[in-house]
Structure 1
Amino acid sequence: MSFAWGKFSRKQLDVIANTTARLNILDGSVRSGKTIASLVAWIMFVAEAPPGELLMVGKTERTLKRNVLDPLEQMVGSKYFKLNRGAGEATLFGRRIYLAGANDERAEGKIRGMTLVGAYGDEITLWPESFFTMLLSRLSVSGAKFIGTTNPDSPYHWLMKNYLKRAGELNLKRWQFQLDDNLNLDPAYVEALKKEYTGLWYRRYILGEWVQAEGAVYDMFDDTVHAVDEIPQQFIRYYVGVDYGTNNPTVFLLIGQHEDKLYVIDEYYWDSSERGRQKTDAEYSRDLQEFIKGRYPQAIVIDPSATSFITQLRRDGVRLIRQADNAVVDGIRTVAAFLSQKRLFVYRKKCPNLLREFTTYVWDTQAQKRGEDRPLKQNDHALDSLRYVLHTIFGRLAPGVLPKPKGW
């Protein structure tokens, strides 16, 4: 598949021509052209780099391949770029490039002992600071260079506090991107993306600002809009979300798809601390089967930590079980997108606990001061169940897209 080159903005051309610092970082909006500009700059650097080891890093090697290596291969062609995933290496213009994921504190051990002349980084704010610090210590060859990209995060994030705010003190160049800096996007897509985000997410992912999360997690939730007294009579698909608890509540949610909208149409909520009795896995399995009786869900999406319950369900012949993608902040963003687009509704009569949690689920202010986006682990059990379904099933789809039944 050949790469479709488009127009370069002035900001992108400036990146390509002037990544001359030791650290070169592009931050800002999603889909704003950061990756393409940074990759062109990286290609040019590798083609002329002095002898030494090269490294490319993502949160995981899988996301690195999807976000960076696949576009890179399309840009230069398979003649000049080859990927050897088994060895964790690639070659570009005959130069070997090591590949690494930086998804936890242990990752920095992967690059100890390396002597780097160049490194490329994707999704830097998702890395542990220890990895970034180790990476900089490895860039020890004369003329060594780092080129990296990231979306904005909390203004207290280590990358902002320790590096971007200190760009004038460090050998660091920074380019800030907004969505409108990409000259090649379909205007209808840009408009859809702007509608998809509101509040915190709009400021970060459209305007490219480093702003703090405040107050309610789902501040776009409107009881007069998203809570409904009537639901469609027919649904083209059903999904079930499960948040399993022992001391905490166990929640099942039944979600129906009608055209391009989702409706939470029923909930099961067992709080053992209030009821005075913890149910067994076998009891919860029977309750779940009764809960979905007569309806045939496409998937039952379950908290991946609920291993004993998943085992019990399989023993009882329950099929279509899918372990949830439990990326909390990404999942919150997916749910927020559905709310913002008015494509998610809750049946008021049947889902009182979910509605209550929407208005009481808040960000952890102490975590924010440490540069972390993290909600308080309170009033979240029904919301976790909802997040599991929406992010696991729909989180990778393009804005405004839901799967349609065959024949449409």
Structure 2
Amino acid sequence: MALINLLTKKQIKVLQSYLNDDWKYLILNGAVRAGKTVIDNYLFLLELKRIKKLAEIEKEPHPQYILAGYSSNSIYTNVISSIENQFGIVMKTDRHGHYHLFGIDIVPAYTGSVRGIGAIRGMTSYGAYINEASLATHEVFQEIVQRCSVRSARIICDTNPDIPTHWLKTDYIDNHDPKARIKAFSFTIGDNTFLSKDYVEALKAATPRGMFYDRSILGQWVTGDGIVYQDFNKDTMVVDEVPDDLEYYCGVDWGFAKGHENVITVMGDDLDTDISYLIGVYKSTGKYIDYWVDIAQQIQDKRGYGINFWCDSARPEYVSYFQQQDIQARNADKSVMDGIEYCSSRIKLGKFKVLRSCAEPFLDDLYQYVWDPVKGVPKKEHDNVMDSFRYGLYNQHKQLDNEFIPNIYI
């Protein structure tokens, strides 16, 4: 079978560079679902075979290699499971949590925290494969680089884009010093010619415009510009009434002082139309926890006992107190960018609307909730209603997805 039937043109270009060019770092960056990890997994196997030959020449009986990722789960999902499915190679761990293949001791390193340094500190590595490199803590990334000190050691990376001032972009991808020996390839979603046209069109239509589209579809390293939820249209998304039969839930952002208000947002899903409605906003300063228990119980009395209250986990004593009062309080996943991207996609698709009677506090924060152009995340201003709404909408639907829909994205 011809190579063009197995790999895309961009993947073949990467493979040719791997085989023929002189490089120390090979970095694949760009759009989601563009085929970066697929080709990197293949190069990972080629690297292990190359290292095996090199170790035999150097009479090294126990060559080691670093396999790095944000977490144990991301390493397994993005690399190990994919290799097993793609090549039929079963990779199991030993009692130390290391993988073994082709006679190479593969040491996992978790890059999401500086604690990840502990797994590789002091080791000498023949190379590294770093998955989701832009999510790596800079200290751990540098430690991996320093561990790869064996002659001919090389480092393979793949990543989605981040802000243009990210250290991976400025120090590596944009580093054209020949002595650094860095080869970088940028991918767009159009590079993956194996994706169906229907899937690509649907993904483009669902991806919020602005930063998320530029990063996820075009593979660009950009920061946010203007308000976070650019696709919200008050003319079509603020409504005078909502359906009667909704599945209700709430988001809770704890606060007390002015500028850091406590907020409970009440939302409901119309299961027939898949539209989520914001139907209530309770916002105040200077109120103690018993006040908010009363509010939550009033919501339960009106909307139904046992509805989820997705809470800011920064105040575990408040979450616990809610639970003691028979309120279904749950710690929310507070992932800012994942949550915003999900909420933005619902808005873009017209799947989110706001009841006019509670629109004022929502819109007041919405139009002042803007990107920090340096950090690439929303500014910590006018974010109380925005956080509460995000906790509820993102976590309620994340729970439903986990219960009923298998995770098909790698």
Displacement after TM superposition at 1:396 (Å) = 8.4
Are 1:160 and 2:169 matched, yes or no? yes
Residue matched to 2:203: 193
Counterpart of 1:8, as a letter, is: L
Q: Contact between 1:88 and 1:100, CA under 8 Å: does it hold in 2?
A: no
Counterpart of 1:308, as a letter, is: E
Residue matched to 1:381: 384
Could you report, residue by residue, the CA deviation over 1:167-205 in whole angstroms, capped at 9, with x for unpaired residues?
A: 443211111111111122222221111012211111111
Q: Contact between 1:27 and 1:177, CA under 8 Å: does it hold in 2?
A: yes
Matched residues in 1 for 2:342 and 2:274: separation?
A: 15
Moved more, 48-57 or 13-22: 13-22
Q: Contact between 2:206 and 2:349, CA under 8 Å: does it hold in 1?
A: yes
Matched residues in 2 for 1:94 and 1:305: separation?
A: 46
293, 311, 314: which is aligned to 1:302?
311
Structural mapping, 1:224-235, within 5 Å: 224-235=235-246
Residue matched to 1:47: 49
Counterpart of 1:294, as a letter, is: K
How many residue pairs end up in the alignment? 383
Residue matched to 2:181: 171
* TM-score (normalised: structure 1): 0.88
Secondary structure of the residue aligned to 2:83 is helix
Are 1:38 and 2:40 matched, yes or no? yes
Matched residues in 2 for 1:217 and 1:8: separation?
A: 37
Counterpart of 1:244, as a letter, is: W
Kindly tell me: are residues 302 and 213 of structure 1, through their superposed partners in 2, closer, same or farther at Cα, counting changes over 3 Å?
Answer: same
Moved more, 31-40 or 209-218: 209-218
Kindly tell me: are residues 384 and 403 of structure 1, through their superposed partners in 2, closer, same or farther at Cα, counting changes over 3 Å?
Answer: farther
Secondary structure of the residue aligned to 2:235 is helix
Matched residues in 2 for 1:386 and 1:83: separation?
A: 41
Could you report, residue by residue, the CA deviation over 1:261-289 in whole angstroms, capped at 9, with x for unpaired residues?
A: 1111111111x2xxxxx222222112111
Are 1:393 and 2:404 matched, yes or no? no
Q: Contact between 1:204 and 1:211, CA under 8 Å: does it hold in 2?
A: yes
Matched residues in 2 for 1:397 and 1:113: separation?
A: 44
Are 1:99 and 2:83 matched, yes or no? no
Displacement after TM superposition at 1:155 (Å) = 1.0
Could you report, residue by residue, the CA deviation over 1:358-404 in whole angstroms, capped at 9, with x for unpaired residues?
A: 11101223xx1xxx322111111111011112332335888xx9969
Q: Contact between 2:108 and 2:119, CA under 8 Å: does it hold in 1?
A: no
Are 1:70 and 2:81 matched, yes or no? yes
* TM-score (normalised: structure 2): 0.87
Matched residues in 2 for 1:266 and 1:298: separation?
A: 14
Secondary structure of the residue aligned to 2:184 is strand
Matched residues in 2 for 1:99 and 1:75: separation?
A: 20
Q: Contact between 2:237 and 2:354, CA under 8 Å: does it hold in 1?
A: yes
Kindly tell me: are residues 189 and 394 of structure 1, through their superposed partners in 2, closer, same or farther at Cα, counting changes over 3 Å?
Answer: farther
Kindly tell me: are residues 266 and 313 of structure 1, through their superposed partners in 2, closer, same or farther at Cα, counting changes over 3 Å?
Answer: same
Matched residues in 2 for 1:32 and 1:127: separation?
A: 20
Secondary structure of the residue aligned to 1:25 is strand
Kindly tell me: are residues 67 and 389 of structure 1, through their superposed partners in 2, closer, same or farther at Cα, counting changes over 3 Å?
Answer: farther
Identity value in percent: 30
Secondary structure of the residue aligned to 2:333 is coil
Structural mapping, 1:271-286, within 5 Å: 272=285, 278-286=286-294
Kindly tell me: are residues 257 and 6 of structure 1, through their superposed partners in 2, closer, same or farther at Cα, counting changes over 3 Å?
Answer: farther
Structural mapping, 1:78-157, within 5 Å: 78-79=89-90, 81-84=91-94, 87-157=96-166
Displacement after TM superposition at 1:94 (Å) = 4.1
Displacement after TM superposition at 1:309 (Å) = 0.9
Counterpart of 2:233, as a letter, is: D
Matched residues in 1 for 2:81 and 2:393: separation?
A: 26
Matched residues in 2 for 1:332 and 1:293: separation?
A: 30
Are 1:313 and 2:322 matched, yes or no? yes
Matched residues in 2 for 1:163 and 1:395: separation?
A: 35
Residue matched to 1:262: 276
Structure 1: segments with no counterpart, 5+ residues: 273-277
Are 1:362 and 2:361 matched, yes or no? no
Residue matched to 2:60: none
Displacement after TM superposition at 1:298 (Å) = 4.8
Q: Contact between 1:125 and 1:151, CA under 8 Å: does it hold in 2?
A: yes
Matched residues in 1 for 2:131 and 2:363: separation?
A: 37
Secondary structure of the residue aligned to 1:116 is coil
Matched residues in 2 for 1:324 and 1:6: separation?
A: 44
